[in-house]
A and B are shown apart, each in its own frame.
Chain A
Amino acid sequence: MISARVKIAVAVFLFVSFSAAVSWAQMPSNMDADSAAIKQCVAAWEDAWNRHDAHATATRYVEDGDFSSTTGIPSHGWKELEEHYNAIFTTFLKDAHRTDGVKSIRFLTPEIASVDIDWQMTGAKTRDGQDVPIRKGLLTWIVTKHNGEWMITIYHESAF
């Protein structure tokens, strides 16, 4: 005769094991869905950038997001980020257009990923007003998932 407690314990154990198995099986398909969602997040950011909408570009970051420029100058949090984008969109990147292509994604956890993005830019000027035919390099982002949405937590860029 098996006591009620043992039955309950077995039921709980079975439920937990089953849930674990289901979530394990779901992981690869979630990663595919998340990879697609991350690519969409990159495309949405690129679109905001190409509209030169500083507010929309900044709010693709988490509220305390970190940006670091090609020369290592940081901006932290929405306010500084928006100021940074406003400054560049009204000066040397006023006529600039960018193209971003996701090169690779590495998941650190199901909700944190490192993303490498090839970038190219036309229409940029140097700080003293000279035309730059083409700028290119690599963006490296840490993105995190918040309420189902992937956002930029840390942004680094390099030009070469």
Chain B
Amino acid sequence: MPPIGWIPVWASPDLKFTASGCAMISIPSKAAFAVLLFLTFSAASSRAQMASNRDADTAAIKQSVAAFADSWNTHDGHAVAMHYLEDGDFTSIKGEVSHGRKELEDHYTTVFGTFLKNAHTTDTVKSIRFLGPDTASVDIDWLVTEPNAPGGVLRKGLVTWIVTKRNGQWMIMIYHESAF
């Protein structure tokens, strides 16, 4: 009978039982027990950390949304494109696609040079759903104002992002928007 817990098969040949019974535990068993304790403890502490990481990640995602809005509001096509992954995907309210930083920068430079020249965006995170530790789906309430638009409102709707964490930074992998 193994003394405590589960001992891997490869450790058991060294298991020794003395005449005094099971009270004495061999050194390899002790080592296995220590490993087991360590793993249990690590699992428990990583579970506890997950909750606080989620809070930190939620805050970091909100910051990345705010930073994107800042770049957008300075009408800097390059800076906006850099919030995406190198192979990021954008889809407009009409379903038109831009893929990768070059196309993204071209797209933003075009819109900022034309009908969004005087536009201002306000983006508010509505909800975040984590798909994994490094991937999340983010719903963002979206309001674009423009002095010449009827009532000053050019666009209003929902932006949905898939964001991913690269080198500690949350970046846009996939961007969709809908206006209503």
Contacts and interface: CB of A to CB of B under 8 A. Distances in A.
Interface of A: 66, 68, 70-72, 74, 103-104, 106, 108-109, 112, 114, 116, 118, 137-138, 140, 142, 144, 153-154, 156-160
Given A106-B89, A116-B91, A160-B95, A72 B131 contact: no
Nearest to B95: A138
Given A116-B91, A138-B91, A142-B137, A158 B177 contact: yes
B135 A112 contact: yes
A156 B126 CA distance: 14
A140 B176 contact: yes
A137 B95 contact: yes
Interface string B56-91: 000000000000000000000000000000000101
Interface string B94-126: 110100000000000000000000000000001
| 3 closest A-B pairs by CB | A158-B178, A72-B158, A138-B95
Given A72-B141, A109-B135, A142-B162, 4 more contacts: A68-B158, A112-B131, A156-B158, A157-B178
Contact of B132 (A68, A109, A140): A109
Given A138-B95, A142-B131, A158-B93, A70 B178 contact: yes
A104 B126 CA distance: 26
10 contacts: A72-B126, A72-B178, A103-B95, A106-B174, A108-B173, A109-B135, A114-B174, A140-B176, A154-B129, A160-B178
B6 interface: no
B131 A108 contact: yes
B160 interface: yes
A159 B178 contact: yes
A71 B176 CA distance: 14
A116 B91 CA distance: 10
Contacts of A156: 139, 158, 160, 176, 178
B158 A112 contact: no
A70 B179 CA distance: 8
Prevailing SS type, chain B contact patch: strand
Contacts of B176: 116, 138, 140, 156, 158
A72 B127 CA distance: 12
Nearest to B178: A158
Contacts of B126: 72
Nearest to A138: B95
A140 B131 contact: no
B25 to A, nearest CB: 23
A14 B162 CA distance: 37
Interface string B137-174: 10101000000000000000110101010000000011
Contact of B157 (A72, A112, A114): A72
Nearest to B126: A72
B180 A71 contact: yes
A92 to B, nearest CB: 16
B10 to A, nearest CB: 8
